[in-house]
Amino acid sequence: MELNGITNTNGNDRLFGHNFNHNNGKDPFENKYPVFELGGQLTHEQKEFFEQNGFIHFKRFISKERVSDLLRESENIQHEWVSKDYKTINGVPIKYGTDIDGKKIVQRFAFINQHSEKFSELLRDDRLKGLFELIGTADCRIGETEKDGLVFNHYINTNQSNYSQLGWHTDALRDIFQGQKIMPMLNVGIHLDNSTTDNGGLRIIPGTHNKGIGTMLFKKVYFISHKPDKKEIGLNVEAGDLTVHDGRLWHRVARSPFSGEKSRRRVMYVPIVTGKFTPRDVNSKPLLYQRLISITNK
DSSP SS3 for 169: strand
Angstrom CA distances, 186 to 100, 145, 263, stand at 33, 15, 27
Binding site partner of 246, from Fe ion, ligand AKG, none, Cβ cut-off 5-8 A by kind: none
Judged by phi (left if over 0) then psi (alpha if -120 to 50, else beta), residue 61 lies in alpha
Residue 171 lies near ligand AKG (rule: CB under 6 A): yes
For the bound state, the minimum distance from the C-beta of residue 201 to Fe ion, rounded and expressed in Å, comes to 13
Helices (H) and strands (E) in the chain, counts: 8, 16
Binding residue for ligand AKG, selected from 122, 150, 173, 202, defined by CB under 6 A? 202
What whole-number distance in Å separates Cα of residue 116 and Cα of residue 82? 16
Query: Between 91 and 130, how does the x/- string for binding to ligand AKG read (CB under 6 A)?
Result: ----------------------------------------
Q: Quick check: 232 binds ligand AKG (CB under 6 A)?
A: no
Min separation Cβ 254 and ligand AKG, Å: 10
State the sign of the Cα–Cα–Cα–Cα dihedral 37, 73, 104, 115. Answer: negative
Query: b/e map of 11-26 (b: 16 or more CB within 10 Å)?
Result: eeebbbbeeeeeeeee
Residue nearest to Fe ion (CB): 171
Nearer to Fe ion, 171 or 193 (CB): 171
Q: Which of residues 247-286 bind ligand AKG (CB under 6 A)?
A: 251, 253, 267, 269
Residue 242 contact, options Fe ion, ligand AKG, none, Cβ 5-8 Å cut-off depending on partner type: none
Q: Provide, rounded to whole angstroms, the least separation between the CB of residue 44 and ligand AKG.
A: 27
State the minimum distance, in angstroms, from the CB of residue 127 to ligand AKG.
Answer: 20
Helices (H), the chain: 12-15, 44-53, 64-84, 117-122, 126-129, 173-177, 213-218, 288-295
Q: Does 153 bind ligand AKG (CB under 6 A)?
A: yes
Distance (Å, whole) CA 243 – CA 241: 7
CA distances in angstroms from 202 to 4, 28, 196, 290, listed in the order given: 19, 16, 9, 19
Q: Which DSSP symbol is given to 57?
A: E
For residues 33 and 269, which CB has a smaller minimum distance to ligand AKG in the complex?
Answer: 269
- Closer Cβ to Fe ion, 144 or 171, answer by number: 171
Q: Is 99 in the site for Fe ion (CB under 5 A)?
A: no
CB-facing half-sphere around the CA of 249: CA atoms within 13 A: 27
Q: How far is the CB of 148 from ligand AKG (least distance, A)?
A: 8
The item of Fe ion, ligand AKG, none sharing an interface with residue 223, based on CB under 5 to 8 Å by kind, is none
Reading phi first (left if > 0) and then psi (alpha if -120 to 50, else beta), residue 108 is in beta
Binding mask 155-174 for Fe ion (x = CB under 5 A): ----------------x---
d(CA 251, CA 294) in angstroms, rounded, equals: 17
193 binds ligand AKG (CB under 6 A): no
CA distance 233 to 221: 19
Comparison of 171 and 246: residue with beta carbon closer to Fe ion: 171
Binding site for Fe ion (CB under 5 A): 171
Return residues touching ligand AKG (CB under 6 A).
151, 153, 166, 171, 189, 202, 251, 253, 267, 269
